Structure 1
Amino acid sequence: MGRLGTLLALARSAIVAAAIRGAGPGGRAARSRPLDFAPFATALDAMDGGRRAELADLLGSASLAELGVLLAAGSLTSVELTLHYLGRIRRFDDELGAIIELNPQALAEAEAADQRRAAGRQLGALDGIPVALKDNIETAPPLHTTAGAAALANNVTEADAAIVSALRAAGLVVLGKTNLSELAGASCKVPGVSALGGATRNPYGATFSPGGSSSGSAVAVAAGLCAASVGTETSGSLIAPAAFNGVVALKPSFGLVGDAGIIPLVRFQDCVGPMATSVPGVALLLAAMTGTTVAELPTLALDGVHVGVLAADILSQPRDLEDPRDNAAMLARITDGLSASGANTVEAELVVRPELAGYEGHYFKVVLGGVTNDTLGYVAEHSQLKTVAELMVFNLAEPKTRMPCGQFYLAAANLLQISAEAYEVAALAHRDATQAVLADTFAAAGVQVLVSLTNLHSALYAGAGYPAITVPLGLRANGMPTGATFIGRPGRDAQLLAFAAAFERATRLRVPPVLAD
């Protein structure tokens, strides 16, 4: 069979074994690195029970902007806010698995924010608000940056990623790191599972997918474990988990947010984006991430705006991570919301030139090229493992703990061995094709924005570098959240945010999860 054949056979066996063990949504793949509450235990235990209850009532439905107002008014302190979230993590995250590591310096950062505010040196509207970061985003010591992989378990980088530096400059408290699909989806096919973080679970139901790869970032916001979070997307990795967990996420235009210090998957389309419970919250966090002045979201309405709804694609969505049998009802919620917003709605269809037919199938090659050349480039720089094959052998040495859901994509990447040159050619060709499809679709429909459902068109907007944002549509008949996804023109992120905010104001369909101890 040979060495490669043996590796692939072992990988396939491990995938089957993982499926039998029940890893993934509803499964019990456990985190291998317990959360360390020792730095906060005394403060958490000393917090007055009455005050804890007051904060729970005060913060239950507070938006990101409202948290800033409460802090500015002295209704609570950043330390209290941070302890509130730490308490919820201690109470609920054993079940949810959203957090992969806590920042032992979180309370010190919160105290510094309170001191700045008392001295009149507040850094901005978000100063002192706790945020959680996906664990493929580099953070300075003592936090690790692992992407959930056992091979990177001891990886501590010298400095923060560029966006983390921007968030700190705006005064945000780094609460901790969130779990993810291992290596941002470069390892296995099950969303929200990693060797170090175990399985992230959807707070709306154990049988519902949490989406991936920014699973923990979405679940943490949905469950009220943090005020907001940051995730990344290569194709659907922000939009899908946000929609499946009933929160808002923006996948910015490619290049809008700096990606220095991000563990890559496909460098030609990787993006960093914000998550929050509302569109204005996402806009505030985006402003902090990009280092721009935090300003109120423009109240641009959808009155008279031409919106193209990709209705046929929504109605024909294949069953995958969500049940599409009530998509007609979801489509009606979209069109009703757009009508209430004053939009001019038209049905839009994708325009695919004959020479671009089959463009969707090229993306698999792009991802595998990214795994080999981008992801493994990072792993090689930060560990002793220099190739995909070496990483697979490392995982196979302890399959139960190092590959809880198999390593499908690693095996495929190792089989194809896509060169750096072939990878770049494929990635740029995919970008050109997806940009052509979207440009032609916008032009043919004569619209300013397209609307889809969850991550149905992620291969298109992500491949093309177009911005997209998902807004909660409420719950499906089975109780799982879903979202309306707005796709904008490249570079028009502010306009897209304004359109999404208008839709959100007209609908208000988000339903928070009910958590049980």
Structure 2
Amino acid sequence: MHTGDKPIKSWLPHPLERLLNNCAPANPSYYRIPTDESRDNTAHRRGYSKSMVYGILLGALIIGGAGSGWYFNQRAGGGEFPSLYEADIETTYIARINEVNDILRPIIEVNPDALDIATALDEERSKGTVRGPIHGIPILIKDTIATNDKMNNTAGSYALVGAKVSSDSTVARKLREAGAIILGKTNPSEWGSFRIPWNSSNGWSAYGGQTYGAFYPHQDPSGSSSGSAVAASNEAKYAELDLRLNHQLTQTAVGFTSRHLVIPISERMDTIGPLTKTVKDSAYVLQSIVGTDVYDNYTSAIPDNTDKDFVGACKLTALKGARLGVPRNVINLMSDNTTVSMVAAFNATLDILRSSGATILETDFPAAQAFLNDTLLGLQIMSADFVVNIESYLKRLTYNPHNISTLPELRAWTRQSPLEGYPSKSTGVWDFALENWNNTTPEFWQAYQKGLYYEGEGGLLGTIKRHGLDAVVLPSKFSWSFAAVAGAPVVSIPMEAMGDEQPVVVDPDGLVQSAPGIPFGFSFLGDRWSDAKIIGLAYALEQRTRVRGKVKPIVKPRTELGDVAGRK
């Protein structure tokens, strides 16, 4: 392949190669997307540091992605895989990022080794070696998943800029072994939304700035993996739906994927799963990253007979004979004036499920009201884990730039650093955690047992067992907390968007939480280790609804990968 006036060593653009060869900063060796504060001083790098990205997007708690869908849909099923030369990256990937990142800012940095990685994978392909369906697929991972390379792993905090680990996280290692190109990292809500109280600051980190959703001005990007989700919504060829609720998100059962060297919140609730353009794309990615790991004891609980054939589960007939429960009391308890269109679309989707051969049972979660009233329980459990788990992660660093080893030290450093936005960006969650007990105390175990009741006999798992259900279904906005303590899997697919009558709701940080045109999703919640089953159910519904493409973002790249791929 030739770009400009001379050949280059891989499929990446010649200007980027010049940047990587000649413009590497002395310390640290990475390339950052400039924040508002630094943007004027980095104009000479604009257009280059925002390079080579958007494929599958990965994040701790969730893994986000989209671009692989074009490849998988076109080639994987037939056994033929796309050459890395097939798309003009200079006029697709870089162009797409330049078209949206100054406004939405989902990308935090890129991998300066990506050229060499792509070259090696091209060489393998040219010799007839293809590792699998994600060989050569460009991937972004959330800035909480450690890589032992020139990139950072910061959780959005300057406290960890320059920190080093002894090896790749298990997830990153498995991605590399499967042939993926880890191109960079996405902006998280700082510390996975576990520093600043949860009523504000979604999508903000000191290191990466404020990420916005693509469907309304200053849209709240939602959740801890904001950058991954927003990047996914602007990469795929059909990129009309946004955020974790509105791409095909697979939240795996806790223990199905290793969390080794992923910056933690709670060992009992943290999990990793793909956010992709299609359900089948999630299946391909999951088959590359699930499995046991000696460095994460929770993975040893995977039953030997667990179905891991996620791709094989993607059948149009998966809904025929399925028993699906609707916990109507949860919907009634959580509905308000912002969810009217959401509930109406959910009820209409139930008719599609019935027409596909599924049986819909109206059920209740017996402890739903008590769970929703027990507002501090989840925070207490996560805080107790976080105090212990974050210390464990910090101790594993081979280079710790500020010698921070405990949560009190981390809080003190954050409060005194002018880069961290304190006090306007508070440390309220950490303050609570340090006044709370940790996960070795009797108080913790009492709280955790209560949580297991809410999610078990009084909630999701008990309802599945009592009624012999294959899954429970809910609007995505109502689903996540009811699976968390149980460590149960969730798959969410696009459903619809808020209508013109939707009131605009703005949070204290000025982020728009609801407004006309913002999409929402439909979720399948399953028993532990039933990931393949609910992936199949979600696939069958997705194929019947095909919502993607019906909702138009106000910020969207003009350049499409499919417009130029195959022209060489």
Q: Give the TM interval when normalised to the shorter protein.
A: 0.7 to 0.9
Q: Could you tell me how far apart the structure 2 residues matched to 1:81 and 1:71 are?
A: 24
How far the C-alpha of 1:373 sits from its partner, in A, is 1.8
Q: Could you tell me how far apart the structure 2 residues matched to 1:102 and 1:83 are?
A: 18
How far the C-alpha of 1:89 sits from its partner, in A, is 2.0
How far the C-alpha of 1:342 sits from its partner, in A, is 2.3
Partner in structure 2 of residue 462 of structure 1: 484
How far the C-alpha of 1:375 sits from its partner, in A, is 2.3
Matched position secondary structure for 1:420: coil
Residue-by-residue CA offset, 1:196-239 (whole Å, 9 max, x unaligned): 011111011234321111111111111107999xxxxxxxxxxx
Superposition pairs of residues 251-262 of structure 1, within 5 angstroms: 251-262=251-262
Q: Could you tell me how far apart the structure 2 residues matched to 1:356 and 1:390 are?
A: 33
Superposition pairs of residues 156-305 of structure 1, within 5 angstroms: 156-188=164-196, 189=198, 190-224=201-235, 241-243=243-245, 246-290=246-290, 295-299=311-315, 300-305=317-322
Superposition pairs of residues 365-376 of structure 1, within 5 angstroms: 365-376=380-391
Alignment pair present for 1:347 and 2:353: no
Q: Could you tell me how far apart the structure 1 residues matched to 2:381 and 2:50 are?
A: 48
8 Å CA contact 2:460–2:472 kept in 1: the answer is no
Match of 2:405 among 379, 386, 402: 386
Alignment pair present for 1:431 and 2:452: yes
How far the C-alpha of 1:111 sits from its partner, in A, is 2.4
8 Å CA contact 2:249–2:274 kept in 1: the answer is yes
Match of 2:139 among 122, 131, 146: 131
Q: Could you tell me how far apart the structure 1 residues matched to 2:157 and 2:87 are?
A: 32
How far the C-alpha of 1:409 sits from its partner, in A, is 0.5
Q: 1:333 to 1:162 in 2, by over 3 A?
A: same
Paired letter, 2:112? P
Q: 1:440 to 1:71 in 2, by over 3 A?
A: closer
Partner in structure 2 of residue 496 of structure 1: 534
8 Å CA contact 1:144–1:153 kept in 2: the answer is yes
Match of 1:144 among 119, 139, 152: 152
Partner in structure 2 of residue 324 of structure 1: 339
How far the C-alpha of 1:303 sits from its partner, in A, is 1.4
8 Å CA contact 1:179–1:214 kept in 2: the answer is yes
Superposition pairs of residues 100-139 of structure 1, within 5 angstroms: 100-139=108-147
Q: 1:205 to 1:358 in 2, by over 3 A?
A: closer
Match of 2:472 among 450, 453, 465: 450
Alignment pair present for 1:96 and 2:104: yes
Q: 1:43 to 1:376 in 2, by over 3 A?
A: closer
Partner in structure 1 of residue 522 of structure 2: 484
Match of 2:427 among 383, 407, 411: 407
8 Å CA contact 1:181–1:212 kept in 2: the answer is yes
Q: Could you tell me how far apart the structure 2 residues matched to 1:345 and 1:185 are?
A: 35
Q: Could you tell me how far apart the structure 2 residues matched to 1:216 and 1:187 are?
A: 17
Partner in structure 2 of residue 307 of structure 1: 324
Q: Could you tell me how far apart the structure 1 residues matched to 2:230 and 2:86 are?
A: 22
Normalised to the residue count of structure 1, the TM-score between the two structures is 0.79
Partner in structure 1 of residue 25 of structure 2: none
How far the C-alpha of 1:32 sits from its partner, in A, is 6.1
8 Å CA contact 2:331–2:474 kept in 1: the answer is yes
Q: Higher mean Cα deviation, 148-157 or 358-367? A: 358-367
Q: 1:225 to 1:400 in 2, by over 3 A?
A: farther
Q: Could you tell me how far apart the structure 2 residues matched to 1:60 and 1:74 are?
A: 10
Structure that is richer in helix per residue: 1
Q: 1:155 to 1:293 in 2, by over 3 A?
A: farther
8 Å CA contact 1:275–1:282 kept in 2: the answer is yes
Residue-by-residue CA offset, 1:157-212 (whole Å, 9 max, x unaligned): 23111011111111011011111111112211322111101111101123432111
Paired letter, 1:405? K
How far the C-alpha of 1:397 sits from its partner, in A, is 1.9
Q: 1:286 to 1:36 in 2, by over 3 A?
A: farther
How far the C-alpha of 1:271 sits from its partner, in A, is 0.5
Residue-by-residue CA offset, 1:113-135 (whole Å, 9 max, x unaligned): 22211110111111000111111
- Unaligned regions of 5+ residues in structure 1, if any? 1-27, 46-58, 229-239
Q: 1:354 to 1:485 in 2, by over 3 A?
A: closer
Q: Could you tell me how far apart the structure 2 residues matched to 1:143 and 1:191 are?
A: 23
How far the C-alpha of 1:433 sits from its partner, in A, is 4.0
Paired letter, 2:484? A
8 Å CA contact 1:472–1:481 kept in 2: the answer is yes
Q: Could you tell me how far apart the structure 2 residues matched to 1:356 and 1:439 are?
A: 14
Paired letter, 1:407? T
Partner in structure 2 of residue 48 of structure 1: none
Matched position secondary structure for 2:485: helix
Q: 1:82 to 1:407 in 2, by over 3 A?
A: farther
How far the C-alpha of 1:465 sits from its partner, in A, is 1.1
Alignment pair present for 1:334 and 2:355: no
Identical counterparts, % of pairs: 25
Q: 1:183 to 1:225 in 2, by over 3 A?
A: farther
Matched position secondary structure for 1:464: coil
8 Å CA contact 1:82–1:175 kept in 2: the answer is no
Match of 1:396 among 415, 418, 421: 415
Q: Higher mean Cα deviation, 87-96 or 401-410? A: 401-410
How far the C-alpha of 1:297 sits from its partner, in A, is 4.2
Paired letter, 2:271? C
How far the C-alpha of 1:359 sits from its partner, in A, is 5.7
- Unaligned regions of 5+ residues in structure 2, if any? 1-33, 53-66, 292-307, 500-515, 558-568
The total of aligned residue pairs comes to: 462
How far the C-alpha of 1:77 sits from its partner, in A, is 2.3
Q: 1:226 to 1:283 in 2, by over 3 A?
A: same
